[in-house]
Structure 1
Amino acid sequence: MDLEKLRQEREKWLTWKNIKPLRDALDNLESGTYNIELGDVVKIEGEYEGDIKEVAKMMMPWRKGPFELFDTFIDTEWQSNIKYNLLRKHFNLKDKRVADIGCNNGYYMFRMLEDKPALLVGFDPSPLYRTQFDFINHFVKSDIVYEMLGVEHAEFYEEKFDTIFCLGVLYHRSDPVAMLKQLFRSLDKKGEVILDTFYIDGDEEYALCPESSYSKIPNIYFVPTIKALKHWCLRAGFDSFEVLETSKTDAEEQRKTEWIEGQSLEDFLDPEDKTKTFEGYPAPQRVYVRLIKDK
């Protein structure tokens, strides 16, 4: 696969008529030296004369975060610090080659900088999320590499990875085992994948197959039991499957704010029974697992 040709083609996406004004706004950002705090809120502090809020509003919707740029607080739909802090005790990225597949605007990668990985690469084909990343990174000035590529390209990347994060992607794929194989082939020897996906309760190896949508999300194909997920991972070639955490998505973690457009979790659930989705399926809950490639 010719990744360089693909990169050149996708760079043109940044000139789309809905993206070009955002890129122009990036080109007009002031430069300077700023204080950076990479905690639950990724904060940029210092003196800035321009209207940061106006630029940030142009880039809506903001899904992952939160961020605070000078006097502008971007209250994102997802309080991504909750997931990050849930997983934080389970990994150490120092001197490792790390990928975040489905990285959105890079919030998790900015948080990962504290571990001082040798390489940090984000994969996400969205030109909007790439632009949000470039906006934040204009001030952070990190060496993070952002590729407008997908999981299907990771195995052809110029590097193999020691650790891959793949959070909230698997249920969007119509062939989850094929995707897990792609992750497996993207790892170096002794590599690991930290993955999360929706799951349903049950002791059997089966999966929910939504008719048209799940929690009002049309591109959700399979929601497995944990046992079914384990079998998928073993079939993909992984030697080890470890459940790290489970959680239920609630209104503290995902909710509507002024920084998104459209609906959020409260609209996706049955208004009469919050244990069910709008369609009547079990409400979203997530399992976080570590997958190991031993050889």
Structure 2
Amino acid sequence: MIDTAALGQLMHSHGLESWAEQLPTQLEQIFNQRPHGDLDRWLAAIARLPTLKPAQVTLDDARVSVTGTRPLTESERSEIHDLLQQLHPWRKGPFQLHGIPIDTEWRSDWKWDRLRPHISPLGGRSVLDIGCGNGYHCWRMAGEGAELVIGIDPTQLFLAQFLAVRHFLGPDWPVHLLPMGIEDLPANLRAFDSVFSMGVLYHRRSPIDHLYELKAALRPGGELVLETLVIEGDAGKVLVPEGRYAKMRNVWFIPTAETLAGWLKRCGFRDVRVVDVTPTTTQEQRATDWMRFESLADYLDPQNQSRTIEGYPAPLRAILLATAP
């Protein structure tokens, strides 16, 4: 399922030898101790996907896509569509696999377009994407020339979606997804050139500890790309929802962008800067045929779209960059 041999070779060439040695045991423990009841069903759907030779893979466009050496028959198209739908819901994307568009809940390419002009060029770098979902941004990072991209996310459905995409894009890309959280990383790796944490911080009960974990994964001089929910206001302000926020139960701290910049500095990061603050719209996050549950429109006050259904400020997201000491 996960090619630890190929990943291990890449890890050895990027200063991650100690983690590479632990990884097979880690994965065995995860699948034995935290198995998802539907994982076998998802893997069976992936195993039924036809093998199609890729003619062109595109990783530097809005849709991560692959085209084949011939058009699909209607029967093939229907079969692939139905098998991929068995991995519903698709949150991050979009993708286009042999002419089949996967219109995901999030237009994740919009976020990529907001951050790409500001980050250090990824060519030749090792990258860790924390809370990567199904790996959409991992593919975009590879499209920018990254030599090694490791995405981590404990949700095993996202691993299945990644494996389905990888099935069509091919095995030779330096992109890998591991079903684990940041707490599963070995301590003090100090190895990655770039670490991305996008849409994770507000789910952490201790945001300061999360920032220290991010710093511990970066080599000295490496770049942190941090994207998270914020509120408007000056330094020092933080929203701590009393219950749910936008119907989410696990939202703990939403600071202002200036407060978050201060936290990063307090944790020892240098060159801290806010490069983007953008409201989330119902065009960027919405229900589709590939994600048929509730989405942002259902989380907002129908009488006042500037507030959540609970009365809190509607989602506003910031991107901050910082350098590890």
RMSD between aligned alpha carbons? 1.9
Aligned match for 1:110, one of 139, 156, 159? 139
Task: Indicate which of 98, 105, 108 corresponds to 1:77.
Answer: 105
Aligned match for 1:10, one of 30, 34, 57 = 30
Percent identity over paired residues: 35
Amino acid at match of 2:30: R
Alignment counterpart, residue 153 of structure 1, candidates 184, 192, 216: 184
* 1:138 alignment counterpart: 167
In structure 2, distance between residues paired with 1:204 and 1:157:
30
Question: Which of 274, 283, 287 in structure 2 is aligned with 1:256?
Answer: 287
Indicate if the aligned counterparts of 1:13 and 1:127 stay in contact, CA closer than 8 A.
Answer: no
- One-letter amino acid matched to 1:181: Y
- Which range moved further: 63-72 or 77-86? 63-72
Q: Normalised by the size of structure 1, how large is the TM-score?
A: 0.94
Aligned AA (2:62): D
1:71-102, Cα deviation, whole Å (9 max, x unpaired): 42111000111001111112211111111111
Select the residue among 286, 298, 303 that pairs with 1:267. 298
Between 12-21 and 168-177, the greater mean CA deviation after superposition: 12-21
Change over 3 Å in CA distance of 1:101–1:275 after alignment to 2 = same
State the Cα deviation string for residues 253-292 of structure 1 (Å, max 9, x = none). 0011111132100010000000111110111101100011
8 Å CA contact retained: 2:150, 2:178: yes
Determine the C-alpha separation between the residues in 1 that align with 2:214 and 2:47: 35
Aligned equivalents of 1:184 and 1:101: distance in 2? 12
The question of whether the paired residues in 2 share the 8 Å contact of 1:77 and 1:254 is answered with yes
Matches within 5 A, 1:15-30: 16-30=36-50
Conserved 8 A contact 2:276-2:318: yes
Offset at residue 117 of structure 1 (A): 1.4
Q: Structure 1 residue 30: deviation in Å?
A: 2.2
Write the deviation string for residues 89-147 of structure 1: whole angstroms up to 9, x where unpaired.
12211111111111111111111112221211111111100010000011112221211
For the residues of structure 1 that align with 2:235 and 2:151, how far apart are their CA atoms?
A: 35
In the alignment, is residue 177 of structure 1 matched against residue 208 of structure 2?
yes
C-alpha distance in structure 1 between counterparts of 2:127 and 2:30, whole Å: 22
Decide which of 34, 41, 55 is 2:63's aligned counterpart. Answer: 41
* Counterpart for residue 63 of structure 1: 91
TM-score (norm 2): 0.86
SS in structure 2 opposite 1:64? Answer: coil
Structure 2: gaps spanning 5 or more residues: 1-18
Per-residue deviation, 1:152: 1.8
Length, aligned pairs only = 294
Distance 2:36 2:274 in 1: 41
8 Å CA contact 2:94–2:102 kept in 1: the answer is: yes
2:227 aligned residue (185, 196, 200): 196
Q: Distance in 2 between matches of 1:13 and 1:124?
A: 16
Q: 1:6 Cα shift? A: 2.3
Give the corresponding residue for 2:52.
Answer: 32
User: Which range is displaced more, 252-261 or 24-33?
Assistant: 24-33
